[in-house]
């Protein structure tokens, strides 16, 4: 069965509930706002409970349907509770964006701090697995299909000196996405990943020289914006992407093209 593209982006998510982790700022918040603008009920889930509440209140003031929940994606019971909160608050779970992540310190692999490595992998990879682990059964049980986007990185396809933990975790996210996408496609649940290049968000704290150095790595001559990533995520969650599943979509200003 084919599905006609939705042309009215202000109603394409009407009646749907979306859970977004790491949504108090940056890509997560931009995505929450984009989905809410499309009519979705959005659950702002973040380790920063105060930030999540503030973001949800801001969206509510803008006339959108939003709620906040604290989540620690490194703890499966916390992720399960966030999924349950979404279902209890809005009656179900149709969409999910597994975005929570941290950068971690930089150092060569042979000198990388083991505790830091474990913390980055627990957050960026295990956190995505725990999210899928509890989101997928809820969507499957509802029998209405669903769509999930995992936020990976360009570093899910290439290396980056000094960031072994982040690179390993993001490569893992791509593998999880392909596996879950294949497992659940026949059930109408689509799982995809996005691979943004360096995006100008609060996670990126650099001096001017380092910032300019990153810009120089992108043939487009600039860094991406959170809103640009949110548009790609919204597309992948929408019925416009109804035949896309188990795939990984780079958004990198040609960073990986050269």
pLDDT attached to residue 111 = 98
Q: Looking at residues 95-124, what average pLDDT do you find?
A: 97
Dist. CA 82–CA 150, nearest whole Å: 16
Q: Looking at residues 240-246, what average pLDDT do you find?
A: 97
The residue whose two tokens read 């801001």 is 58
In this predicted structure, the answer to whether residue 107 has a pLDDT above a threshold of 90 is yes
pLDDT attached to residue 10 = 79
pLDDT attached to residue 237 = 98
Residue from 47, 112, 130, 166 carrying the catalytic annotation: 166
User: Which positions ≥6 away from 61 have C-beta within 8 Å?
Assistant: none
Percent of the chain with pLDDT strictly greater than 70: 95
Dist. CA 70–CA 165, nearest whole Å: 25
> CATH homologous superfamily of domain 17-253?
NAD(P)-binding Rossmann-like Domain (3.40.50.720)
Show me where the domains of the chain are located. 17-253
pLDDT attached to residue 206 = 73
* Average pLDDT of the residues of the chain: 93
In this predicted structure, the answer to whether residue 2 has a pLDDT above a threshold of 60 is no
Question: Is 166 considered catalytic here?
Answer: yes
**pTM exceeds 0.85:** yes
**Each residue of 35-62: pLDDT tens digit?**
999 999 999 999 999 999 999 999 999 9
């Amino acid at each position: 069965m084919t599905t006609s593209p939705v042309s009215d982006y202000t109603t394409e998510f009407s009646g749907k509930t979306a859970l977004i982790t790491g949504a108090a700022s940056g890509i997560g918040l931009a995505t929450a706002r984009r989905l809410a603008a499309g009519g979705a009920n959005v659950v702002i889930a973040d380790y920063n409970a105060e930030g999540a509440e503030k973001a949800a209140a801001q969206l509510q003031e803008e006339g959108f349907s939003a709620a906040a929940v604290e989540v620690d994606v490194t703890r499966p019971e916390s992720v399960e509770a966030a999924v349950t909160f979404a279902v209890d608050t809005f009656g179900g779970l149709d969409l999910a964006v597994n975005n929570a992540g941290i950068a971690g310190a930089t150092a060569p692999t042979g000198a990388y701090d083991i505790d830091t490595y474990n913390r980055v992998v627990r957050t960026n990879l295990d956190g995505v697995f725990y999210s899928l682990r509890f989101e997928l059964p809820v969507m499957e049980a509802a029998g209405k299909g669903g769509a999930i986007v995992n936020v990976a990185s360009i570093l899910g396809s290439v290396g980056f000196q000094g960031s072994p933990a982040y690179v390993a975790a993001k490569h893992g996210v791509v593998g999880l996405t392909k596996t879950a996408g294949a497992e659940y496609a026949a059930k109408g649940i689509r799982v995809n990943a996005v691979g943004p290049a360096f995006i100008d968000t609060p996670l990126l704290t650099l001096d001017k020289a380092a910032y300019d150095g990153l810009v120089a790595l992108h043939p487009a001559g600039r860094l991406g914006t959170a809103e640009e990533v949110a548009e790609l995520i919204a597309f992948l969650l929408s019925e416009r992407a109804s035949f896309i599943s188990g795939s990984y979509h780079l958004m990198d200003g040609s960073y990986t093209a050269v």
